[in-house]
Structure 1
Amino acid sequence: MAPLRQLPGVGESTVRAREALAAVHRRPVNLRRPEITGAEGVLRGARAGAMIDGAGVVRGDRGEESEVLARHIDVYSVLAPEFVQDTARVFLRSPLQVLARMDVLAGGTGRPERAVGELSVLAATVTSGADPDLLPGIVHGQLLSTSAFGARTGVVARAASRLAAVAGGFDPRGLAVPEPWLNRHRAEYLAAGESFGSGAGGVGRFLVLHMRSYQAGAEEAEGIAAAL
């Protein structure tokens, strides 16, 4: 994936995201008790992701969680601090197995609705030990652009991206919370996801956006750490 770093803005945005992530990982609370800040980050990510996917309210008339939010929390449970490292190791060996599990948690069958060939290529990329900084964005963008899991693709893509960031060491403790930024820039995000498969320009556009979301996600994690 070395040529991807030469696309306009990709190298620079990757450096900025890396620096922001390194800073938040050095916070004392994240060195002592990353499971606390990590758990809050997972929940915030699920809630913001549900809003991207159309959950207009967090709770219904009788106080129950909306179905969209409940599904997002189920999928993001694989990112919970007590599970994420084990799941990340499985992801690096058998990414399609983990994607199938996420789809089931999102309410699907565990089988892709389309783009089976593209998923096989993505799986080969994951297991090849590809650039760990860019892998989360590649996973994210490739899944979005193919809509492999139909209406459930968004939550699967965002959770899989975060898992890839843990697995490859880009965000080894899973502290960053990129979803609030993605929700605030929802139209730009969804358009970039659609353009990912349109060639190098689309890939570069999405990777820059992805890195911006992780830089902002590190700032979100800073806020969580500061509140503890």
Structure 2
Amino acid sequence: MTVVDPLHPLLNLGEVAELHESARAAIAAVHRRPVSLRHPEVTGSESVLRGARLSTLIDGHDIDLGSEPAGPLGQAISCYSLLAPGKLESSARTFGRAPLQVLARMDVLAGGDGVPVAAAGATRLRTLTQVIVGGAHDGLLPQIVHGEIASAQIFGPRSGLVARAACRLAAVHSGFDPRGLAVPESYLNRHRREYAMALAGFGGGPEGVGVFLELMFRAWEAGAAEAEAIAQAAA
């Protein structure tokens, strides 16, 4: 029986298909580097830490990198800990079969109670779960997970943090970034206003979704460049 991918038509929006291919090629190149093949945990660990720090900045928090992680930074590091090399494989496997369990855990680690803030949020999560479990386009799935959680503020003020961490985990699960090496947060942090506007338009129809997807694939390509720099430093 043919399985219909509900996300595949989104590739026809704007420059989505081209940007997806460019981002995928950049990520694949990083994965082929000798240090990434021999010691992916080295690049992966630094990628996760940078992602957590940058995610804190994206949400507008000031952080002191010289002090012990606490407050928003500590919560971000806890949330992103599910992406750490020692937990990544298990987290991705659970995400593929029970995504609500992982998303609730991320929210708890971010300081929440793991429960969507409204009934509408719970409904959207159930729909999103069907897409994740049912299988969807490897590159589009992470971005839709990100957009749905963040734009609808499903977990209240923690939604952006949970969305970015979940996006990266979905990319591991789908095979778009199988070792979790890229750091898309670097681009999102540098383009915060554009990112906020894209999220605001995400729920406004196909055009808004296309703009968000284009932004995200640019972020992934830039995140691959960040991973490349990490790999070069570790070589």
TM-score band by shorter chain is over 0.9
Counterpart residue number, 1:99: 103
Following the alignment from structure 1 to structure 2, what is the Cα–Cα distance between the partners of residues 100 and 136? Answer: 17
Counterpart residue number, 1:13: 19
1:58 Cα deviation (Å)?
2.3
Following the alignment from structure 2 to structure 1, what is the Cα–Cα distance between the partners of residues 64 and 16? Answer: 35
Question: Any residues of structure 2 matched to 1:98-137 within 5 Å, and which?
Answer: 98-114=102-118, 115-137=121-143
Counterpart residue number, 1:214: 220
Following the alignment from structure 1 to structure 2, what is the Cα–Cα distance between the partners of residues 201 and 112? Answer: 27
Instruction: State whether residues 144 and 194 of structure 1, in contact with CA within 8 Å, keep that contact through their aligned partners in structure 2.
Output: no
1:59 Cα deviation (Å)?
4.8
* 1:66-86 C-alpha deviation (Å, 9 max, x unpaired): 411110000000000110111
1:195 Cα deviation (Å)?
1.0
* 1:5-41 C-alpha deviation (Å, 9 max, x unpaired): 0000100000000110111001110000000110000
Counterpart residue number, 2:159: 153
1:212 is paired with a residue of what secondary structure? Answer: helix
Question: Any residues of structure 2 matched to 1:193-208 within 5 Å, and which?
Answer: 193-208=199-214
Percent of pairs identical after alignment?
55
Q: Which runs of 5+ in 1 are unaligned?
A: none
Question: Any residues of structure 2 matched to 1:72-83 within 5 Å, and which?
Answer: 72-83=76-87
1:83 is paired with a residue of what secondary structure? Answer: helix
Following the alignment from structure 2 to structure 1, what is the Cα–Cα distance between the partners of residues 42 and 155? Answer: 31
TM-score normalised by length of structure 1: 0.97
* 1:113-169 C-alpha deviation (Å, 9 max, x unpaired): 021111111111101101111100000011111100000001100000000000010
Most deviating of 109-118 and 212-221: 109-118
Counterpart residue number, 2:64: 58
Following the alignment from structure 1 to structure 2, what is the Cα–Cα distance between the partners of residues 207 and 148? Answer: 19
Counterpart residue number, 1:88: 92
* 1:59-112 C-alpha deviation (Å, 9 max, x unpaired): 58xx34341111000000000011011110110111111000000000100101
Counterpart residue number, 1:226: 232
Following the alignment from structure 2 to structure 1, what is the Cα–Cα distance between the partners of residues 186 and 8? Answer: 29
* 1:182-213 C-alpha deviation (Å, 9 max, x unpaired): 00000110111121111001111111101000
Following the alignment from structure 1 to structure 2, what is the Cα–Cα distance between the partners of residues 57 and 131? Answer: 36
For residue 30 of structure 2, the aligned residue among 24, 31, 39 is 24
Q: Which runs of 5+ in 2 are unaligned?
A: 1-6
The number of residues matched between the two structures is: 226
TM-score normalised by length of structure 2: 0.94
Supply the AA of the counterpart residue of 1:215: E
1:147 is paired with a residue of what secondary structure? Answer: coil
Instruction: State whether residues 165 and 171 of structure 1, in contact with CA within 8 Å, keep that contact through their aligned partners in structure 2.
Output: yes
Query: What is the RMSD of the two structures over their aligned residues, measured on CA atoms?
Result: 1.0
Counterpart residue number, 1:188: 194
